[in-house]
């Protein structure tokens, strides 16, 4: 099966207050050393996969540069990364090639470099079209910057453009959120991603909100009910103009869904390179029993046999460049079954129960039927009339983490290698 390739570029011009990613502001002096390391890892991909007991295909149908802000790299550095990918893998001519960009970072030479690298999709981290809201969380662009970048991308031939928005930013109101939605619709973008602000201890803004403080405009963050209303308004208005929701946070015109991200939600193989990059591959240990217990009787083909391997790189620049060991998780068939639910349910089409039974056995599915029935009763899941598929209800999308918790596997076997 063709691979997806993800490259993490953890560099930003400024660290946004809401950001909980492994990215930060660094001197440009470290960029070259980082690119060297990423390119070396790409060249060693077959060896790395083998050491992780993973199986890879050399054919690639999606490439995604995320961050951080990949476009803070110069054109030559970006081209080095793409050259390394194409040297090691066979990238399909029709592959989806995406680069995330912060508005205002698309210098002329960078845009020309992206075109030479075969980039055909750009994701713009807009977050808000209201200048005061963007400034409050540390974004450096203005509304006019976004519109200029979109025009330049289209003039260069890149028309598959995603716009990221965040519902629940400080100072956001129903009126200002509507302004951002109106601007998004006016661009006639191919794709939109709408995220509800995450309030957790992994961001400065999140920590301040949790502490009840006032730094980072935390006391102007809308409450959960207002944020949910903003999200639902986006769902309704994007759908009305043909930008259909296909995943909890993602909306696309027909045929323009993010093929790379679909790999994550449908458990297709992908390789990640760079800081805090994650990979999932079919395991060469398939069939190896993690528990030495026989759990394959009575139609239950689930059990503790290895189904896949996940591994990730160090989550800080210093540790990654220093060559810290990968964190490895062997995914049992039991865990793979539950992943199939809590990843597959992110998609509007939901999970096909017949396919689950065919893959993991009818007995394995029967074990989950009480949890499914309870979630249906609570109005968080709904069954198709044929009862062959289940999917989140609109309310279930707002409470998706609660739904997914019902399908989480026990703690997997992890190791460093």
CATH architecture of 3-261: Alpha-Beta Barrel (3.20)
Model pLDDT, residue 285: 87
Q: Beta-carbon neighbour count of residue 2 at 10 Å?
A: 18
User: Which stretch of DSSP H or E encloses residue 237?
Assistant: helix 224-240
* Dist CA 401 CA 358 (whole Å): 27
For domain 285-303+332-416, the CATH class is mainly alpha
The reported pLDDT for the residue numbered 295 is: 38
Report yes or no: 283 and 331 within 8 Å, Cβ to Cβ.
yes
Q: What's the pLDDT score for residue 202?
A: 85
pLDDT value for 402: 93
User: Strands 90-101 and 121-127: what pairing?
Assistant: parallel
Give CA angle at 136 (134, 138), nearest 5°.
70
Model pTM score: 0.91
Same fold, 3-261 and 285-303+332-416: no
| Residue 68: cis peptide before it, omega within 30 degrees of 0 | yes
Q: Domain spans of the chain?
A: 3-261, 285-303+332-416
Q: Please list the rounded mean pLDDT of every run of 10 residues in the chain (417 residues).
A: 96 89 82 96 97 94 95 96 98 98 95 97 98 95 97 98 98 98 98 95 90 94 96 97 98 98 97 97 77 39 77 95 94 91 96 93 89 95 85 95 82 46
Rounded Cα gap, residues 125 and 143, in angstroms: 12
**What is the residue-wise DSSP string for 122-153?**
EEEEEE-SSHHHHHHTT----HHHHHHHHHHH
């Amino acid at each position: 099966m063709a691979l997806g390739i993800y490259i993490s570029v953890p560099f930003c011009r400024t660290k946004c207050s809401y950001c909980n990613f492994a990215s930060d502001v660094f001197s440009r002096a470290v960029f070259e050393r980082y690119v060297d390391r990423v390119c070396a890892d790409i060249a060693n991909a077959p060896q790395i996969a083998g050491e992780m007991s993973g199986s890879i295909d050399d054919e690639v149908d999606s490439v995604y540069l995320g961050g951080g802000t990949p476009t803070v790299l110069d054109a030559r550095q970006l081209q080095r990364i793409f050259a390394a990918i194409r040297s090691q893998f066979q990238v399909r001519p029709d592959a989806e090639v995406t680069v995330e960009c912060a508005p205002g970072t698309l210098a002329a030479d960078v845009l020309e470099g992206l075109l030479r690298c075969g980039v055909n999709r750009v994701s713009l981290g807009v977050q808000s079209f209201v200048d005061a809201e963007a400034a409050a969380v540390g974004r450096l662009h203005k509304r006019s910057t976004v519109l200029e970048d979109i025009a330049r991308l289209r003039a260069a031939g890149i028309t598959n453009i995603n716009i990221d928005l965040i519902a629940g930013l400080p100072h956001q109101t129903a009126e200002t959120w509507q302004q951002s939605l109106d601007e998004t619709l006016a661009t006639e973008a191919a794709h939109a991603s709408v995220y509800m602000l995450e309030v957790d201890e992994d961001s400065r803004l999140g920590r301040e909100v949790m502490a009840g403080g006032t730094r980072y405009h935390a006391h102007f963050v809308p409450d959960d009910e207002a944020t949910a209303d903003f999200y639902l308004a986006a769902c309704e208005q994007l759908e009305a103009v043909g930008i259909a929701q296909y995943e909890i946070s993602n909306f696309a015109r027909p045929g323009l869904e993010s093929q790379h991200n679909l790999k994550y939600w449908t458990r297709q193989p992908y390789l990640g390179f760079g800081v805090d990059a994650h990979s999932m591959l079919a395991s060469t240990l398939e069939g190896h029993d993690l528990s030495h217990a026989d759990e394959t009787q009575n139609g239950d083909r689930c059990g503790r046999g290895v189904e896949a391997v996940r591994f990730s790189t160090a989550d800080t620049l210093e540790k990654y460049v220093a060559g810290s060991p990968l964190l490895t998780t062997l995914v049992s068939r039991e865990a793979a079954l539950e992943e199939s639910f809590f990843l597959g349910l992110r998609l509007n089409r939901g999970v096909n129960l017949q396919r689950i039974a065919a893959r993991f056995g009818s007995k394995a599915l029967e074990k989950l039927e009480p949890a499914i029935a309870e979630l249906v009763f609570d109005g968080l899941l709904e069954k198709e009339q044929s009862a062959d598929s289940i999917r989140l209800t609109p309310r279930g999308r707002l409470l998706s983490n609660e739904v997914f918790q019902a399908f989480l596997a026990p703690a997997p076997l992890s190791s460093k290698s």
